[in-house]
Amino acid sequence: MKTTCAIHCLASAAIAAVLAVSPSARAKDQTTLKDAYKGAFLVGAALNDSQFDESDARAAALVKEQFNAISPEDCLKWQQLHPKPGVYDFSRADRYVEFGLKNGMFIVGHNLVWHNETPKWVFEDDKGNPADRETLLARMRDHILTVVGRYKGKINGWDVVNEALSYDGSMTKTPWERIIGDDYVLKAYQFAHEADPNAQLYYNEFYYYHEFSRQSPAKRDAAIALVRNLQSHGVHITAIGLQGHYGLETPTLEEVDETITMFAKLGVKVSVTEMDIDVLPGVKENDFAEQPMHIPLNATIDPYTAGLPDSLQQRLAKRYADLFKVFLKHRDVMQRVSFWGVTDGSSWLNMYPVYGRTNYPLLFDRSYNPKPAFDAVISVARTAPADR
């Protein structure tokens, strides 16, 4: 108990000291994220084309320096890879995988079965009516066998199904679910295993808690039931992904902590797969809409175009530190923490939920420099090395 307190107090003091140092005063020989968390978990980033193509040379250099795992922002999604029946385009995905192999990184495949960013033809017959169950299952199997088969032995693990659940704990009524039925999830994992028996298989989901369901986290419980059901059919799920698109206040640390604990009881690993922290005002009207809102911007909805105020920069750093303390506490089951993006400038949160805002969700700023949040995250790892 005393040791825990001592470590905790030391950690808080060290973080406070780091937060007080201005970015320009930081040591040049700063340790990297991947080294700081070595032995605890992998630290990854989702890459866009200019990063894995290295046309954005500074971002590519930063990725090589800081991260040991990569995810693809878009290039492995169905609509990019398989836009028309029988037509596959692997050019971008091949370059993504090549970048990871060349740099000895853990390569994540994202994703195989999702209702978004999947072309309409997948769910339709040639008259534009809904396809039947057998047709859709055959398309799913062909897609999974082709894509996973191509990268067999190269892509280490796959987000097989992305976002199948609703807040009330029911299966979301996606075209996959409506046409095939609830067992589309099981089928997807069976096909993925058939395609590469050695690949790790993940279930990836956002917000296991939500403000409306906080008193009864039905979605989290549904994810547990979903994984148990897969396990009961002999599917080996390696990890559950918490996307980790978080806010400055929500979810609470207790919610994240408890969710990881409950998932770990299933005998699976846990990963934070798409971490970022939104610092801009919420736009309720567009909560969870598929398309961003295109509206005139003003200082109320887009307040930090000239830079993030220092007070908020410190809050962001503290929030990151607090979350990484939780992740580190669970290092026995935590496989990976991946950020959704590399620098603030390339984050999707500048485009969503409102298009064209200036957001600051990541650890590196628009000039590719580490932010106070970076120092805070490193500092958490430094203060708890003893039991690693």
With binding defined as CB under 6 A, does residue 374 bind ligand GLA?
no
Q: Is the peptide bond before 309 cis (omega within 30 degrees of 0)?
A: no
Among 66, 68, 156, 162, binds ligand GLA (CB under 6 A): 162
With binding defined as CB under 6 A, does residue 118 bind ligand GLA?
no
The CA distance from 330 to 40, in Å, is 9
Closest-CB residue for ligand GLA?
348
Q: Does 274 participate in catalysis according to the annotation?
A: yes
Annotated catalytic residue, options 73, 205, 258, 274: 274
Give long-range contacts, CB 8 A cutoff, 24+ apart: 36-41.
36/377, 36/378, 36/381, 36/382, 37/328, 37/337, 37/381, 39/388, 40/328, 40/331, 40/334, 40/381, 40/388, 41/271, 41/327, 41/331, 41/334, 41/335, 41/336, 41/337
x/- binding map, residues 209-238, to ligand GLA, per CB under 6 A? Answer: ------------------------------
Task: For ligand GLA, give the closer residue by CB, 209 or 348.
Answer: 348
Count of beta carbons in the 10 Å neighbourhood of residue 358: 19
User: In the chain, where do the E strands start and end?
Assistant: 42-47, 69-72, 106-113, 157-162, 200-205, 239-242, 245-247, 269-278, 334-339
Shortest distance, position 353 Cβ to ligand GLA, whole Å? 11
Annotated catalytic residue, options 163, 211, 249, 258: 163
Among 96, 176, 189, 206, binds ligand GLA (CB under 6 A): 206
Task: For ligand GLA, give the closer residue by CB, 198 or 288.
Answer: 288
Residue 287 to residues 100, 168, 281, 283: CA-CA distances in angstroms?
34, 16, 12, 7
Contact 251, 207 (CB under 8 A): yes
Shortest distance, position 124 Cβ to ligand GLA, whole Å? 23
Shortest distance, position 228 Cβ to ligand GLA, whole Å? 23
With binding defined as CB under 6 A, does residue 243 bind ligand GLA?
yes
With binding defined as CB under 6 A, does residue 348 bind ligand GLA?
yes
Shortest distance, position 41 Cβ to ligand GLA, whole Å? 20
Shortest distance, position 158 Cβ to ligand GLA, whole Å? 13
Task: For ligand GLA, give the closer residue by CB, 162 or 346.
Answer: 162
- Token couple for 238: 């390696």
Q: Does 163 participate in catalysis according to the annotation?
A: yes
| Residue 265, φ and ψ in degrees, nearest 5 | -65, -15
Burial class (CB in 10 A: 0-12, 13-18, 19+), 64: middle
| Residue 264, φ and ψ in degrees, nearest 5 | -60, -30
With binding defined as CB under 6 A, does residue 343 bind ligand GLA?
no
Task: For ligand GLA, give the closer residue by CB, 111 or 383.
Answer: 111
Q: Are strands 239-242 and 334-339 parallel, antiparallel or unpaired?
A: unpaired
With binding defined as CB under 6 A, does residue 96 bind ligand GLA?
no
Residue 47 to residues 62, 70, 107, 155, 347: CA-CA distances in angstroms?
11, 7, 11, 15, 10
* Sequence-ordered list of residues with C-beta below 8 angstroms from that of 275, at least 6 positions apart, any chain: 243, 244, 245, 246, 323, 337, 338, 339, 340
Task: For ligand GLA, give the closer residue by CB, 110 or 210.
Answer: 110
Shortest distance, position 159 Cβ to ligand GLA, whole Å? 7
Task: For ligand GLA, give the closer residue by CB, 68 or 118.
Answer: 118
x/- binding map, residues 270-289, to ligand GLA, per CB under 6 A? Answer: ----x---------------
Shortest distance, position 274 Cβ to ligand GLA, whole Å? 5
Q: Which residues are catalytic?
A: 163, 274
Which residues in this chain contact ligand GLA in the complex, by CB under 6 A? Answer: 110, 162, 206, 243, 274, 340, 348
